[in-house]
Structure 1
Amino acid sequence: MSRLTEQQIKQLLQPINPKRVLRDGKGHSHVSQQDILAHLTRVFGFGSFDIDVREVAMVFEIPRMSGDGKPSNRYDVCYRALVRLTVRTPDGDTLCRLDNGSTATAQNQTLGDAHDLAYKSAISLSVKRCAIALGDQFGLSLYNKGQMTPLVMGTLVHSPEDAPADVQEGVAQQVSLGNDEIDREVDS
């Protein structure tokens, strides 16, 4: 059975390079879609990964009205996408298949531009969400309030020789990500 090279494993266990991290208008950290694709190529090689759009659907299309209540010829459009990222080893064997999805909305656009932007953005965000399963090099640590120190510094399968026996040692304190982690009262 083929597997990753030691050089690939060493790279995957590194923290993300801060030069690759961007901040949006709200100050949230992220990695661009083109950077994710470039880094998949850098780590796994040309032609060693596939992106399959498994599903894409329009969620809504809402026409905007002008101040006088007439159509403005501008639209808000939302799409959802489900994508599969398949990564192969240097020998061409499937290393993993990662599925994830996202939605994206384009606001106040012409009809064609709104559909184009929302459609492509939903797919791009889904690819990025798939890739985070490959670790910190693909933005995993950024989900901890923009942290760039690694969450994965070793694995029980592949670890640097100087890695501690407990692969959790040295991982920074995690912070809540929001609504999905709020304790909710259950109605009786």
Structure 2
Amino acid sequence: MFNDQQTKALSSELNTDRIKVRDKANIKLSYLEGFDIIDTANNIFGFGGWAYTISSLEQVSQEVNANQNVVICYKAIVKVDVYDIDHSTMISRQDVGFGTGVARSLADAHENSAKEAVTDALKRSLRSFGNQFGNSLYDKSKSVAQNAPSNMPNAPANQNAGFGQNQAIPNQAPSQAMPNQAPNDQVMGDIQSLRNMGLDVVEQNGFLLVRGNNIFAKKDTIKALGFRWDSKTKQWYKQLSNAA
């Protein structure tokens, strides 16, 4: 169905620069914008390689709030079709979305609510194709990546820079594992747990850094071991002096 380039793109980790954050009921929610989702679909599937249809669009409710604004809610069902290169094979996905329009005029409230519902349904339909369409953001802990402080001293400028000088944590006895520190059994146990998941652990400038494929799919375990996400360098880190 998909060529090698498309498969590689769909399997790649979501670039955190694309993630936006908004407040809702004093909770920070991570999301991808509608235009970003459409651009990503065009880039991966091609301009003629996919299409969507609004299967249903209906008003759910209408009221007036305390500020005398009209509040209207719409529900939309959107179907997404993705084709192979010669349009001989098609994959279809369908999902529901909701939108709320708040405006002084009835027309504006209808317009805003309907558009939001369609966009929401489109994003939910496309998320079944993986992280490039924000599927990982439905993990409630995902928003941490956008709010973690960039306070790692001497961190590399990007995710891969500087690892040539990093000191890998070898499979040795704790007394030989990290010559700059004396890690306790708990630290070595954490390292081994991460290794068992197929991840790499390195030491740099007094910090433990975690690397590996599909790292966000394993973030709950990484967080549970005391690591934090640095959005600037895009790395999971834990200060060694605190852990040892």
Give the alignment's TM-score, normalised by structure 1: 0.72
Relative distance call for 1:47 and 1:77 in structure 2 (3 A) is same
How far 1:145 sits from its partner (Å)? 2.5
> CA contact under 8 A between 1:60 and 1:78: conserved in structure 2?
yes
After superposition, give the CA deviation of every residue in 1:93-139 in whole Å (9 maximum; x if it has no partner): 33310000011112243211100000000000000000110001100
Q: Quick one: percent identity of the two aligned structures?
A: 26
Kindly indicate whether residue 116 of structure 2 is the aligned counterpart of residue 121 of structure 1.
yes
Partner of residue 172, structure 1:
218
Higher helix share: 2
> Match for residue 40 of structure 2?
39
What is the alpha-carbon distance in structure 2 between the residues aligned to residue 146 and residue 34 of structure 1?
24
CA contact under 8 A between 1:28 and 1:146: conserved in structure 2?
Answer: no
Supply the distance in 2 between the matched residues of 1:147 and 1:95 (Cα, whole angstroms). Answer: 31
- How many angstroms apart in 2 are the aligned matches of 1:9 and 1:145? 26
Contact 1:61 1:77 in 2 (8 A): yes
**Residues of 2 paired with 1:93 and 1:109: CA distance?**
48
1:77 to 57, 61, 72: 72
Aligned to 2:89: 94
Among 6, 9, 12, the alignment partner of 1:8 is: 6
> Contact 1:56 / 1:81 at 8 angstroms: preserved in 2?
yes
- Report the CA distance between 1:90 and its aligned residue: 1.5
- Aligned-partner residue type, residue 37 of structure 1: I
Structure 2, unmatched stretches of 5+, are: 146-197, 199-213, 222-244
Residue 59 of structure 2 corresponds to 58
Q: Do the aligned partners of 2:102 and 2:112 also contact (CA within 8 Å) in 1? A: no
Question: Over aligned residues, Cα RMSD in angstroms?
Answer: 2.5
Query: 2:218 aligns to what SS in structure 1?
Result: coil
**Bigger-Rg structure (1/2):** 2
Of 102-111 and 42-51, more deviation after overlay is shown by 102-111
Higher relative contact order (Cα pairs below 8 Å, separated by 6+ residues): 1
Q: 1:132 to 1:146 in 2, by over 3 A?
A: farther
Looking at structure 2, the residues matched to 93 and 123 of structure 1 have their Cα atoms a distance apart, in angstroms, of 27
Any gaps of 5 or more consecutive residues in structure 1? 67-71, 150-163, 176-188
**What is the alpha-carbon distance in structure 2 between the residues aligned to residue 146 and residue 124 of structure 1?**
23
1:116-155 equivalences under 5 Å are 116-145=111-140, 147=142
CA distance in 1, matches of 2:88, 2:44: 15
